[in-house]
Structure 1
Amino acid sequence: MTVSADLADELTALVGRPGVETRPEVLHRLSRDFSWLSPILSRDLRSVPASVAVSPEHTDQVADVLGFAYRRRLAVTPRGAGTSNYGQSVPMAPGIVLDTTRLTGISDIDADSVVVEAGVTFTSLEQALAEHNREVAVMPSTVTSTVAGFLSGGNQGIGSIEFGSIWDGWVRGLTVVGCVENPEPVDITGDSMDRHLHAYGTTGIITRARLCTAPKRERTVLFAAFDTLAAATRAGRELMDLPVPPRAISVDDRAVWETFIAHDGHDGAVLLRAMLDVGTAEAARTITGAAGGRVTAIDDTAVRAMTSSVYNHSTLRAHRSDPRLAAVQIRGEAVVEHEKAVRAAFPDARIHLDGNAPRRYGKGFSGLLLSTWVDDETLTRGIEALRALGVVVVNPHTWLVGSHGGLDGYRAAAATFDPRGLLNPGKLMP
C-alpha cells in the first residue's frame, strides 16, 4: 500500500505536520525491532514496511488516529523505542505505524506513584523521579525502552525481586484507547489490566500508566566467583532475603559473563552479581562467603553496566560476541537440579539466570539457555528434553501474543477494543 497525498494530508490534520512521516528510509527503520536476534523470527517474520508513520503528541490525538484507521480499515502497528526481541513492533500488514515516542508527559508524582505517558523512556523517568528522591519500582534492562513498550511486551525487570512482574501490582492503572468508530480513552485498574499487559497493543493502545515508585537508594554491585551453579544460586536466594532486597541478581557461566564484564580479577566457573542497597553490602559479603563464594569486587561504578547486562539484554550481549548464539527462556528448580542434562539438551549450552519475581514465580531464578543455533528440529528437540526434566521453557522464537498464556482474556479484550482486528494484525494467536 502506497500512501496517497490525500491520506497523508488527512493524518496531518489530526496530528500536525511533524507527526506524519512518509519517507521510505524512515518507514523502513520504524518497521523493524530486535527480532533479528532470533534465527526463526529473522527468517519467518515477514515485515511489511509501514505505509505511513504517525506520531501523536497526546492521548486525544491517539484516539483521533485510531478512529480514522477504523473508518478507513487501516492496520495500526504500535511502536515505542523498537527494542523488542519478538517482533512486537514489526508490521505484518500495510497501514499505519503508530509511533508513541512523542507522548512524553510525566505528572502527578506523589508519595509512592507517578503518572507517565506511553513514550516516556525509563531513562527519562528515573531522572525525573530522582528529583523527588524516588525511583521507578521496576524497569527493563534496556532502559531506553518506553513505558508502554515494556508494559505491552515485557514481564520482569530490574526491581522485580522486590516488586514483581508487570502483573503483580506495581502497575496501578492504565489508560487504553481502542480502534473503534468513536474512540474514547478508557481508564482501567485492577485485574482488568491483565488483558492489556503484554498484549503487543492488540487489545488497545496504552497511552498512559500510573506506576508504583520506591525510595531512591544508593546502589553498589557485588561480584562473587563460585565453582558451581548450585552454590551461586543458593547464595542468590539468600541474598533475596536481605532487609532491602537486591534490585537485581544474576548468575552467569564464564562463557556468558566474559562477554560483558570489564573488571579484572574475576574468576571461577560461575559469577554472581547482585545490585545492592549500599547499606546491605557487608551483610551480602558475609552471606556470599558462607555459601562458598569468593567476593571479587564491590563496586559502586558497576551499577550502570549491570543494568544493561541482565534479563533479555544478555541475549544481545551474547549475540554480539558470537552471532551464532540463540536462546530459549528457562525457569524452575530443575535447571539446577538437573544441570548436566539441561546443558546436554543443546549444543555448546551456556546459562544466564536472573532473580525471579517471587510473587509470580517463586523465590528462585529464571533466565536464558544460550547455545549455538543449528536448526528448527534441534530447537524443538531441545525444548522437549528440557520440559521432560521439569524445566519451565518459554520459546522466544514466536511473535504470537497468547502463546504463553492468557489467550482467552486477550481475545475478549480485543473483541471490545479492536472489533475489526486492525491493531497489530497477525500478532494475536488465532
Structure 2
Amino acid sequence: MTVSADLAGELTQLVGENGVETRPDVLHRLSRDFSWLSPILTRDLRPVTAAAGVRPASVAELVAVLGFAYQRGLAVTPRGAGTSNYGQSVPMVPGIVLDTTKLSGIHDIGKHDVVVEAGVTFADLENALAEHGREVAVMPSTVTSTVGGFLSGGNQGIGSIEFGSIWDGWVRELTVVGCVEDPAPVVVSGSSMNGHLHAYGTTGVIARARLLTAPKRDRTVLFAAFDSLAAATRAGRKLMDLPVPPRAIAIDDQAIWETFIPHDGHDGTVLLRAMLEVGTAEQGRTATVADGGRVTAIDDAAVRPMMSSVYNHSTLRAFRSDRGLAAVQIRGSAIVENEKEVRSTLPGSRIHLDGNAPRRFGKGYSGLLLSNWVDDATLENGIAALRAIGVVVVNPHTWLVGSHGGLEDYLAAAAAFDPRGLLNPGKLVPQCR
C-alpha cells in the first residue's frame, strides 16, 4: 500500500506535519522489530511495510487517529520502541503504524504509584522517580522499552521476585483507546485489564498506565560460581527470602554467561548473579557460600550491566555471538529435577534462568533453553519431550495473541474496542477474527 497525498494530508491535519512519516526507509524501520531472534519468525512472518507512520503527541491526537482509522477502514499497528521479539509491532496488513513514543508525559508521582503515558521509556521513568526517592516496581531488561510496549508485549522483568508479573497487581489501571466509531479514553482496572495486557495492541491502544512504585534502594550485584545448576538454584531460592528481596537473580550456563561477563575472576560451570539491596549483601554472601558457591565479586558498578543481560536480553546477547540458535521459554522445578533429560531434548542445549514469583506459580525460576537450530520438527519434538518430563514450556516462535491462554478475555476486549478488526490484524488467533 503506497501512501496517497490525500491520506498524508488528512493525517497531517490530525497530528501536524511532524507527526506523519512517509519516508520509505523510516517506514521500513517502523515496520520491523526484533523478531529476527526467531528462525521461524524470520522465515514465516511476512511483514508489510506500512503506508504511513503516525506519531500522536497527545492522548487527544491518539483518539483522533483511531477515529479516523475506523472511518477509513485503515489497519493500525501500534508500536513503542520496537524492541519486541515476537513480531508484535510488525504490520501484517497494509495500513498505518501508530508510533506512541511521543506520548511522553509522567504525571501524578505519588507515595505509592505514578501515572505515565505509553511512550515513556523505563529509563526516563526511573530517572523521574529517583528524584522522589521511588522506583518502578517492575521493569523490562530493555530499559529503553516504552511503558505501553512492555505492557502490550511483556510479562515479567526486573523486580518480579518481589512484585510478580503484569497480572499480579503492580499495574494499577490502564487508559485504553479503541478503534471505534466514536473513540474516547476508557479507564480499566482489576480483572478488566486482562484483555489489554500482553495483547499486542489488538484490543485497544494503551494510552496511559498507573503503575506501582517502591522505595528506591541502593543495590549491588553478587557474582558466584557453582559447579552445578542444582546448587546455584538452591542458593538463589534462599536469596529470594532475604529481608529485602533481590531485584533480580540470573543463573547461566557458561556457554551463555561468557558472552557478556568478563572471564577474569569468574569460573565454574554455572554463574549466579543476584542484584541485592546493599544492606543484605553480606547475608547473601553467607547464604551463597553455604550452598557451595564461590563468591567472585560483589560489585556496585555491575547493576546497570546486569539489567541489560537478564530475561530476553540474555537471548539477544547469546544470539549476537551465535546466530544459529533457537530459544524456548521454560519454567518449573522439573528443569533442575530432570536436568539431564532437559539438556538432551534439543541439540547444544544451554540454560538461562531468572528468579521471579508470579502469583500463579510462586517463587521459583523461569528462563530460556537455548539450542542449535536444526528445523521445525526438531524444535517441536524437543518441546514435546520437555513437557513430557514436567517442564512448563511457552513456544515463543509465534506472533499470535491468545495462543498461550487468556483467549476469552482478549475476545471480549476486542469485540468492545476493535469491532472492525483493524488493530494489529493477523495477531489475534484466527478464530478471533
Instruction: Provide the C-alpha distance between the structure 2 equivalents of 1:115 and 1:360, rounded to a whole number of angstroms.
Output: 26
1:83 alignment counterpart: 83
2:322 alignment counterpart: 322
Deviation at 1:357, TM superposition (A): 2.2
Q: Is the 8 A contact 1:165 1:360 kept in 2?
A: no
1:184 corresponds to 2:184: yes
2:14 alignment counterpart: 14
1:251 corresponds to 2:251: yes
Where 2:360 maps in the other structure, the secondary structure is helix
Question: Which whole-Å deviations, capped at 9, do the CAs of 1:24-81 have from their partners, x for residues lacking one?
Answer: 0000000000000100001000000000000001111111000100010000000100
Instruction: Provide the C-alpha distance between the structure 1 equivalents of 2:65 and 2:271, rounded to a whole number of angstroms.
Output: 49
Deviation at 1:356, TM superposition (A): 1.9
Deviation at 1:263, TM superposition (A): 5.5
**Which letter maps to 2:149?**
G
1:132 corresponds to 2:139: no
Where 1:246 maps in the other structure, the secondary structure is coil
Cα RMSD (Å)? 0.6
Question: Which whole-Å deviations, capped at 9, do the CAs of 1:142-182 have from their partners, x for residues lacking one?
Answer: 00000000000000000000011000000001000000011
In the TM superposition, what are the counterparts of 1:320-359 in structure 2 within 5 Å? 320-359=320-359
In the TM superposition, what are the counterparts of 1:128-277 in structure 2 within 5 Å? 128-262=128-262, 264-277=264-277
Q: Is the 8 A contact 1:164 1:360 kept in 2?
A: no
1:62 alignment counterpart: 62
Deviation at 1:343, TM superposition (A): 0.2
**Which letter maps to 2:98?**
L
2:292 alignment counterpart: 292
2:121 alignment counterpart: 121
Q: Is the 8 A contact 2:162 2:356 kept in 1?
A: no
Question: Which whole-Å deviations, capped at 9, do the CAs of 1:284-304 have from their partners, x for residues lacking one?
Answer: 000001111110000000001
Q: Is the 8 A contact 2:32 2:47 kept in 1?
A: yes
1:414 alignment counterpart: 414
Q: Is the 8 A contact 2:142 2:313 kept in 1?
A: yes
Q: Which moved more, 1:198-207 or 1:356-365?
A: 356-365
Question: Which whole-Å deviations, capped at 9, do the CAs of 1:290-338 have from their partners, x for residues lacking one?
Answer: 1111100000000011000000111100000111111000000000000
Deviation at 1:358, TM superposition (A): 4.1
Instruction: Provide the C-alpha distance between the structure 2 equivalents of 1:139 and 1:158, rounded to a whole number of angstroms.
Output: 5
Where 1:198 maps in the other structure, the secondary structure is coil
1:387 corresponds to 2:387: yes
Instruction: Provide the C-alpha distance between the structure 2 equivalents of 1:223 and 1:120, rounded to a whole number of angstroms.
Output: 32
Q: Is the 8 A contact 1:156 1:357 kept in 2?
A: no
In the TM superposition, what are the counterparts of 1:89-100 in structure 2 within 5 Å? 89-100=89-100
1:365 alignment counterpart: 365
Instruction: Provide the C-alpha distance between the structure 2 equivalents of 1:292 and 1:89, rounded to a whole number of angstroms.
Output: 44
**Which letter maps to 2:398?**
T
Deviation at 1:6, TM superposition (A): 0.8
Instruction: Provide the C-alpha distance between the structure 1 equivalents of 2:143 and 2:209, rounded to a whole number of angstroms.
Output: 17
Instruction: Provide the C-alpha distance between the structure 1 equivalents of 2:279 and 2:299, rounded to a whole number of angstroms.
Output: 13
1:103 alignment counterpart: 103
Deviation at 1:102, TM superposition (A): 0.3
Deviation at 1:361, TM superposition (A): 2.1
Instruction: Provide the C-alpha distance between the structure 2 equivalents of 1:361 and 1:309, rounded to a whole number of angstroms.
Output: 23
Where 2:194 maps in the other structure, the secondary structure is helix
Where 2:48 maps in the other structure, the secondary structure is coil
Question: Which whole-Å deviations, capped at 9, do the CAs of 1:188-241 have from their partners, x for residues lacking one?
Answer: 111101110000000000000000001000010000011110000001110000
Instruction: Provide the C-alpha distance between the structure 2 equivalents of 1:366 and 1:391, rounded to a whole number of angstroms.
Output: 10
Total equivalences in the alignment: 430
Instruction: Provide the C-alpha distance between the structure 2 equivalents of 1:377 and 1:39, rounded to a whole number of angstroms.
Output: 13
Instruction: Provide the C-alpha distance between the structure 1 equivalents of 2:228 and 2:398, rounded to a whole number of angstroms.
Output: 32
1:4 corresponds to 2:4: yes
In the TM superposition, what are the counterparts of 1:394-405 in structure 2 within 5 Å? 394-405=394-405
Deviation at 1:360, TM superposition (A): 2.7
Instruction: Provide the C-alpha distance between the structure 2 equivalents of 1:387 and 1:138, rounded to a whole number of angstroms.
Output: 29
TM-score by length of 2: 0.99
Instruction: Provide the C-alpha distance between the structure 1 equivalents of 2:269 and 2:123, rounded to a whole number of angstroms.
Output: 33
Question: Percent sequence identity over matched residues?
Answer: 79
> 5+ residue gaps in structure 2?
none
TM-score by length of 1: 0.99
Instruction: Provide the C-alpha distance between the structure 2 equivalents of 1:358 and 1:8, rounded to a whole number of angstroms.
Output: 45
**Which letter maps to 2:66?**
L
> 5+ residue gaps in structure 1?
none
